[in-house]
Every structure is written in structure tokens, then in C-alpha cells.
Amino acid sequence: MKIHPMITFHGNCREALEFYRECFGGELVVEKLSGDIRRCLPQSLRNLVVRAKLITPDFTLYGSDLGDTTMRGRISILIGSEDVSETATLFEKLSTDGKITTNFEDVGKNQIASVIDRFGVEWLFLKS
């Protein structure tokens, strides 16, 4: 079984996944509204992303601008790595214009940290 995180954004899905592509690399595939459906919508909704996916060798991250934007649920994504340099680089990139909520601190034999990026997604880091 594989689990793929899916994040619902509020009109900035493409921007967010392009940012994540800069952080993680990979291929970004974006599916927008098209045809008659697109033409029937107000101009402000015509460029919404139906589905996007960032495909990397290690994971696939999905995103969309469509969904229940009134839900108060959130998603946190955990990144576990033994590569200290890689983890530090991702932490720095994802915190750009975001908020560091916890700097790396020792918890047992591991170190943990967390960031809320500029799109409101929480990223948890575990250095083992």
C-alpha cells in the first residue's frame, strides 16, 4: 500500500506545488478546468487547478484548488531522513516566507523540527 498526501489550497495550488518542486525537485503535472465547464464559470474561478501532482523518486504529492474550503482540518507532512545536510536544506527552503514553529531539538536519539510554509502547510522534520 502507498499513501499519497493531498493538499487542498485556496486558489494558489499551482504556486504552492511549483514552490515544492523547487524544494524537492521532480516533475509537476497540472490539470486545470477546461472546455464548457471553464466557460460557464466566473473569470475568477477559471484558472483553478482541478488536480496537480508533484512526482519525485521518493513520493508523489497531490494538490487541488477544489474542495471544501470551509473545513478546519489540516495536514502535516513528516520528512524523515538520516542525511543531515539534505534535511537542513529542505528546512531552510520550506521556511522561506513561512514560520519556523520549532527549531531542531533533541528528542531521545533523534532531532525534530517543524515549519509552517507560506501556504499554511506544516512540515515536520525528523533526523534519525
Q: Which residue has the cell 513520493?
A: 59
122-127 β-sheet, strand order: 76-81, 122-127, 110-116, 99-107
pLDDT of the residue at 78: 84
Q: What's the per-residue H, E or C state across 56-124?
A: CCCCEEEEECCCCCCCCCCCEEEEEECCHHHHHHHHHHHHCCCEEEEEEEEECCEEEEEEECCCCCEEE
**Per-residue pLDDT tens digits for 82-120:** 888 888 999 999 999 999 999 998 888 888 899 999 998
Are 93 and 119 within one domain?
yes
Are 23 and 56 within one domain?
yes
Are 20 and 65 within one domain?
yes
Are 8 and 38 within one domain?
yes
**Per-residue pLDDT tens digits for 16-71:** 999 999 999 999 999 877 777 777 777 777 778 888 999 999 999 998 887 655 55
Instruction: Return the DSSP state at 128.
Output: -
Are 44 and 16 within one domain?
yes
Domain that holds residue 60: 1-69
CATH code of the domain in which 8 resides: 3.10.180.10
Number of domains in the chain: 2
Q: What's the per-residue H, E or C state across 4-72?
A: CCEEECCCCHHHHHHHHHHHHCCEEEEEECCHHHHHHCCHHHCCCEEEEEEECCCCEEEEECCCCCCCC
Are 94 and 116 within one domain?
yes
Are 118 and 56 within one domain?
no
d(CA 119, CA 98): 8
Are 6 and 59 within one domain?
yes
pLDDT of the residue at 72: 47
